[in-house]
Homo-oligomer: A and B are copies of this chain.
Amino acid sequence: MAQPVSTLTLNERSTGNNGASSVMGEKEIFHHHIQRAGLKRTAQRDLILDVFLGTDEHLSSEDLYRLVQEKDPTIGQTTVYRTLKLMTEAGIAREVRFGDGKTRYERNSKLPHHHHMICVECGHTIEFLSSELEAIQNEIAAKYRFEPKQHSLRIFGLCADCRDRAPARHNLETVEPRVRLSLARAHK
């Protein structure tokens, strides 16, 4: 059965029962990854990691850069890009794309295999889980001897708010009311 979880609920989960300890776990994973790969721990990486773990949003590199800037204005965009990639390689961040051209990152440790509903009007996202999806994936994959590594379901449409706000939008002059991804506004 599908188990929907709102972004808010996700937040509660992240900082509720095992909040600090899981953040600790992520930091450890990051530092282990750095060591194992023969890389170095730096103040910049620590700061960027901290800021990243302090949110549960879907941050773009630019978003994270802005947040980091507030704490240390000397850190450059490039370092944020590089650290984000590093965190992804370490497995504590995950890339998500909502069709607005920029890559976003979310924490990878919680809510495994969750998916997104993305409002094409306001960019708001809702996260949800579905174990049925795993079943579908495995069924399909088996038929093709395909080895699934990752999957992503995105549902584009109108969130409740935008639905109420723009009820006339549906009967526009378009023959087939297809979603134009290019219409998606800035995220959040």
Residues on A lying within 8 angstroms of B by beta carbon are 2, 4, 6, 29, 32-33, 36, 85, 88-89, 91, 94-95, 97, 99, 108, 117, 119-120, 126, 128, 130, 132-133, 136-137, 139-141, 143-160, 163, 173-182
Contact = CB atoms under 8 A, between A and B. Distances in A.
Contact of A151 (B32, B144, B145, B156): B156
A150 B178 contact: yes
Contacts of A6: 144
B4 A140 contact: yes
Contacts of A160: 144-146
Given A91-B174, A94-B178, A159-B146, A141 B153 contact: no
Contacts of A137: 155
Contacts of A182: 85
A119 B149 CA distance: 10
